[in-house]
Amino acid sequence: MCAMTHRFESVEAVREGLAQVDYLSDDSIAGIAYLADRLGKPVLIEGPAGTGKTQRAKSNAEMTGARLIRLQCYEGLDEAKALYEWNYKKQLLRIQAEGDGVEWDDVQEDIFSNEFLLERPLLEAIRADDPVVLLIDEVDRVEVETEALLLDYQVSIPELGTLEAKQIPLVFLTSNSTRELSEALKRRCLFLHLDYPDLAREKQIVLTKVPDITDNLADQVARIVRSIRQLELKKAPSVSETIDWARTLILLGIEKITEQDAINTASILLKYRSDIDKVVKEYSSNSAAHFQASGS
């Protein structure tokens, strides 16, 4: 197994590094990355969709200058798509090029070599020579049986033997909690729960990500989005959709959100017709609470 080198000097260094790439972090979020690095453990990030779980891994790669390798999980994901597979077309071409006079044993030894191996995200991450951050996104979409192969730092390939890791990457797994993950997977990981940011933090995120916005408009955006998330919706607005909405308002020259402004731009925040209708109804019946107080 490869030797470990530490990426971070302290929790504060992680928080400052994330701030430099416009990711606002508290000590609990920064501390998990620091401990993951020192302990050589993956980080399992759970929470509602749209709370910035994937961005957490991306920002970590950006702050360290590491290459991000992403494995998008889905139902039916297998070893060939996660670890490796053979380049069958290239193998066939080599067999055809060898001609009829070559013994099969000689051809077989040739075509089952590194030259014909297609590395998929997991194998690519552990065999990389450069620093990488491995993102295993939406791990709750795969079957329980598949979980076992996701965090193995050595890979056995029948034709080549066991390939050991050149490095232990910094690994982030995300889950939207659509199913309960196995105890075996959870035991191997450090755990971080990300929820929607509180009002002050979301306002600060908007101010950071949308430089041209005024303090008052950022405050109004954060308050309105917070009130929308309290409704029973198919999909609550994500943090990225909050940022998109704030940018939309700036592009439209809106300095203070009115009821009609919110109705006209609701589709930026909401992606289901039923959610839009519900929020428009809420705007109309409680416009004073949503717009007068939040825009003061």
Full-prediction pTM beyond 0.75?
A: yes
| Mean pLDDT, the chain, integer | 89
Residue carrying structure tokens 């067999």? 95
Domain 11-80+120-193 in CATH: superfamily? P-loop containing nucleotide triphosphate hydrolases (3.40.50.300)
pLDDT of residue 293 exceeding 50, the answer is no
The residues, any chain, with a CB within 8 Å of residue 152's CB and separated by 6 or more, are 122
> How far from the centroid of its chain's Cα atoms is residue 214's Cα?
29
pLDDT at 206 over 90: yes
- Is residue 167 over pLDDT 60? yes
Nearest to 55 by CA among 130, 137, 178: 137
- pLDDT tens digits, residue range 246-280? 999 999 999 999 989 999 999 999 999 999 999 99
Nearest to 225 by CA among 51, 58, 56, 38: 51
* Distance in angstroms (rounded) separating the CA atoms of residues 248 and 196: 21
Mean pLDDT over 84-111 rounds to 77
pLDDT at 170: 94
Identify the weakest region by mean pLDDT among 83-97, 99-113, 139-153.
Answer: 99-113
- In this prediction, residue 292 has a pLDDT band, given cuts at 50, 70 and 90, of low
Is residue 132 within 8 A of residue 66, CB to CB? The reply is yes
For residue 155, the surrounding DSSP H or E stretch is: strand 154-157
Structure token digits, residue 148: 């076992």
Q: How far is CA 51 from CA 16, 123, 161, in A?
A: 21, 28, 41
Q: What totals of helices (H) and strands (E) does the chain contain, helices first?
A: 16, 9
The tens digit of pLDDT for each residue in 127-153 reads 999 999 999 999 999 998 888 888 888
Contact status, residue 46 vs residue 194, Cβ threshold 8 Å: yes
